[in-house]
Structure 1
């Protein structure tokens, strides 16, 4: 996974843009040819790791092979293996393949100096998504003077999985389980070693992600092997209070990854003595059913890549001390009720009657309680908690709340649902399939401006926009993105978040 920087420096030379339409760049693995459109050069489908197939299924990523000649980089690589998209615009076009560890780069075609880099980690519950969706096209952000990178990484049981047969087959010191996170780290190593060839500054890298991608950002902040590979972080709806499964240790109500792997193998009809070779020969599509649950199956502590949960690491100050933006949407999981089956609906099961009654009153009755409790348990309170913990380290910390709702698509909840901020950040409002008005474009211009200024200077504030307060300077203050524009204010609904904080402190001191 690692390449000496001296060797990388020899290879990182930018070819003269002799062809204004089909520019070339030289990477460590070889020369690539991209495409210029409206002032932005795009290089797509670049391999950052070897295909994780055959013996490399359920193995740490390895460096990709080099090539001679010029590799065409005009088109995206395949999606990683995943279930049907179900309408999520963050998935991208087919085909799918296990040979999917590629990334995409957008960079201004004309640039005078190395530019800050923004590396996007897509969401999708660690089951779906890709860096190839039109929603995540980096062209608009690149026109603001940054280099944008989007990545694919292994998903579902190909990315987050273990089984006793695999454990018996690997070296005792080999990292296991969190293959998708290992892929993310390998992609960041590729950026370190190659991004200068595309006009990017490897010493100025911001990672940003949403939902599972936001969780990934916090995991990378606490992963020892990711330290130094990025210099700023943005967490969009990235939870924070989740409790991960151990690789091999079963805990009450939390089976290990190995136990989950055994259970899946039995359900798939595999023999009790199945070998590692036989597991690696199982058709990839067979691994999709039943789909693993993100909150209970795909979050792992493996002891090497991830050694503890995010909240414990932040509480101890062991996270990367980098400038951080984090926040949530105003009505994240409004459709999930506390009584629903599934991991999210069970989050409040340990509440006492007194805690439940206090929250019921704080929400103004059953309707508000049922509509907002899960969102606050999973997103709003954890974001405030991580912001407090991170600000305590002295690192610049900025909290936000997104409450922009398109006039053409009013939400039944009256607020901004989960993932609805993504096209605003990327300025890709045209990809969401409905007409959006002037206020949406103003909100998108503001968000993209804050995000790219943060990537440039570790501070989202810039001329012509409302000031975004630092969390440490104004405790519990945030920037709220509203239909009327950004507004600095105190964290909304602090009373009910305080009750949730007390609940978490009781059940998991």
Structure 2
């Protein structure tokens, strides 16, 4: 009875929220679309129509916390879809105990769409679905730099959406494993992503999109998510193309934890369930039964987010797992799938930036300590990274972190796709605007390509955006849109982007001066050394 009342209360709450967004549209000229859950009224300008804050799953509250996404209750009337809804709950900045970021909430499973103005149902426009980054602990589908206006002007429907983050997005606990045995467990963030893609399959035709021409793309944790969706059986058939920006591709720091110790992964000897128990004990919850789970679900969202902390603050025990290998939803890592040729077969764009991060994944206090990581390949590493002995430690750390975590895994992934007969295109983003070259001394940093991909550049204090910046953004946005339309980024007015072949080893470099140059990979020798290191680790 309690369960029934809880579900009724949640539906009533949703209904009240929906009613608050129902609008009188009798004299409105704004676009209205009806689909499976109800009708929505969007906003428009001369060239683009947008629909924001559309729920794609029920609010994951109460008994639905740490459950697979549940169906959206149907609403009556027309829902206002002119404004973004809340982001998924996450720590704010500066981090403050007992608070979550402004405009974030546990009730957050909403999506946003941009399409060309006057698009009719059945128009069959290509669809792009953006998956944001943020280390699986932050991010949003409503960031200004990922707004979809420019893609819509290219004849593409662009969708962004929110997925659960932190301990709300990835969490394992023995009582959860036992409950609802037919439901997947662990990586609720991935379940949300799949639910959003299922929403596209069921509803995008009503907005004029083609459910059989969907491109997923993401950066950082969003890129990791694309790797996962390419290898999760439940996601197969929900998209036809994929783009991975700075998303890795090999096991290690970006792969998932086993849900239990008996499935231990050498990269993560502590299981996700153990981490869940650490978190429960931090909040005074003992035991692993249904009563303990009820206490976990009674914690406030602020306590769950827990100021974004990754350890218990006492014995240093980890309390946040990241992606989870549960064996049912996520059955293997991307590297394992690629090595076995088990990935979904689709055309692929993949790449990285020239100077992603200065440290964090590979760390060293001296160049000698750094070079010692290469073992028997030390001399080859010197020849590739510091042949004259003049490269400073900070720059070499940036180069090796970038190559090990992102650039070489991108090449490894492209090889896996082409080996199965699918086309792959590799990019290297090296462009740094003049105004940022002192700050980004060694090259383009992590995520710096995103505003160029979306062609959403902004200037401070009303300054004019340089023409070169605008040209790079125009090119990248057009390459990405072309790929969504046809599976090939090339098109009229763009420099040729060569298809990747292992022997030719060609890519497209968005160079420091802004030119797009198709050529053999300038980092080949460096990546060859990293590839040997990766094979030695295995």
**What is the TM-score when the length of structure 1 is the normalising length?**
0.89
1:51-90 to 2 correspondences below 5 Å:
51-84=59-92
Number of residue pairs aligned between Structure 1 and Structure 2: 481
Question: 1:52: Cα distance to partner?
Answer: 0.5
Distance 1:142 1:239 in 2: 29
Distance 1:333 1:357 in 2: 24
Distance 1:159 1:21 in 2: 39
Question: 1:95: Cα distance to partner?
Answer: 1.4
Distance 1:19 1:388 in 2: 56
Q: Is 2:491 the counterpart of 1:450?
A: no
The residue number in structure 2 matching 1:266 is 281
Q: Is 2:189 the counterpart of 1:180?
A: yes
Tell me if the contact between 2:259 and 2:325 (Cα under 8 Å) persists in the aligned partners. yes
The residue number in structure 1 matching 2:336 is 312
Question: 1:44: Cα distance to partner?
Answer: 0.4
What root-mean-square deviation, in Å, do the aligned CA atoms of Structure 1 and Structure 2 show? 2.6
The structure-2 alpha-carbon separation of the partners of 1:303 and 1:447, relative to structure 1 and needing over 3 Å to count, comes to same
Tell me if the contact between 2:469 and 2:514 (Cα under 8 Å) persists in the aligned partners. no
Distance 1:473 1:361 in 2: 22
Distance 1:324 1:279 in 2: 41
The residue number in structure 2 matching 1:201 is 210
Tell me if the contact between 1:20 and 1:36 (Cα under 8 Å) persists in the aligned partners. no
The structure-2 alpha-carbon separation of the partners of 1:493 and 1:161, relative to structure 1 and needing over 3 Å to count, comes to same
The residue number in structure 1 matching 2:150 is 140
The residue number in structure 1 matching 2:260 is 248
Secondary structure of the residue aligned to 2:211 is strand
Tell me if the contact between 2:374 and 2:381 (Cα under 8 Å) persists in the aligned partners. no
Secondary structure of the residue aligned to 1:430 is coil
Question: 1:307: Cα distance to partner?
Answer: 0.4
Q: Is 2:220 the counterpart of 1:211?
A: yes
Q: Is 2:482 the counterpart of 1:471?
A: no
The residue number in structure 2 matching 1:353 is 375
1:80-479 to 2 correspondences below 5 Å:
80-84=88-92, 94-111=102-119, 113-168=123-178, 170-242=179-251, 243-249=255-261, 250-252=264-266, 254=268, 255-272=270-287, 275-289=292-306, 290-292=308-310, 297-336=321-360, 338-339=362-363, 351=373, 353-356=375-378, 358-364=380-386, 365=389, 367=393, 368-410=395-437, 411-430=439-458, 435=463, 436-472=465-501, 475-479=504-508
Tell me if the contact between 1:336 and 1:371 (Cα under 8 Å) persists in the aligned partners. no
The residue number in structure 2 matching 1:3 is none
Structure 2 spans left out of the alignment, 5+ residues: 1-24, 96-100, 312-317
The structure-2 alpha-carbon separation of the partners of 1:115 and 1:166, relative to structure 1 and needing over 3 Å to count, comes to same
Distance 1:137 1:259 in 2: 39
Distance 1:479 1:488 in 2: 4
Distance 1:275 1:118 in 2: 41
Secondary structure of the residue aligned to 2:399 is helix
The structure-2 alpha-carbon separation of the partners of 1:375 and 1:63, relative to structure 1 and needing over 3 Å to count, comes to same
Secondary structure of the residue aligned to 1:154 is coil
Tell me if the contact between 2:498 and 2:507 (Cα under 8 Å) persists in the aligned partners. yes
Question: 1:316: Cα distance to partner?
Answer: 1.1
Structure 1 spans left out of the alignment, 5+ residues: 1-16, 88-92, 342-347
Deviations 1:26-79 (A, max 9, x none): 010001000002321110000000101100000000110000110110111101
Tell me if the contact between 2:89 and 2:164 (Cα under 8 Å) persists in the aligned partners. yes
Secondary structure of the residue aligned to 2:40 is strand
Deviations 1:435-457 (A, max 9, x none): 53111100000000000000001
The structure-2 alpha-carbon separation of the partners of 1:154 and 1:174, relative to structure 1 and needing over 3 Å to count, comes to same
The residue number in structure 2 matching 1:90 is none
Distance 1:485 1:349 in 2: 33
The structure-2 alpha-carbon separation of the partners of 1:292 and 1:197, relative to structure 1 and needing over 3 Å to count, comes to farther
Deviations 1:341-396 (A, max 9, x none): 9xxxxxx8994533445424421145243231111110011001111111111111
Tell me if the contact between 2:357 and 2:402 (Cα under 8 Å) persists in the aligned partners. yes
Deviations 1:256-284 (A, max 9, x none): 11011112222333334561111111111
Question: 1:165: Cα distance to partner?
Answer: 2.6
Distance 1:297 1:245 in 2: 7
Q: Is 2:524 the counterpart of 1:500?
A: no
Which range is displaced more, 277-286 or 105-114? 105-114
Tell me if the contact between 1:135 and 1:431 (Cα under 8 Å) persists in the aligned partners. no
Deviations 1:237-272 (A, max 9, x none): 011113321111334451111011112222333334
Q: Is 2:79 the counterpart of 1:38?
A: no
**What is the TM-score when the length of structure 2 is the normalising length?**
0.84
Distance 1:323 1:231 in 2: 8
Tell me if the contact between 2:371 and 2:381 (Cα under 8 Å) persists in the aligned partners. no
The residue number in structure 1 matching 2:12 is none
Which of 1 and 2 has greater Rg? 2
Question: 1:197: Cα distance to partner?
Answer: 1.2
The structure-2 alpha-carbon separation of the partners of 1:453 and 1:162, relative to structure 1 and needing over 3 Å to count, comes to same
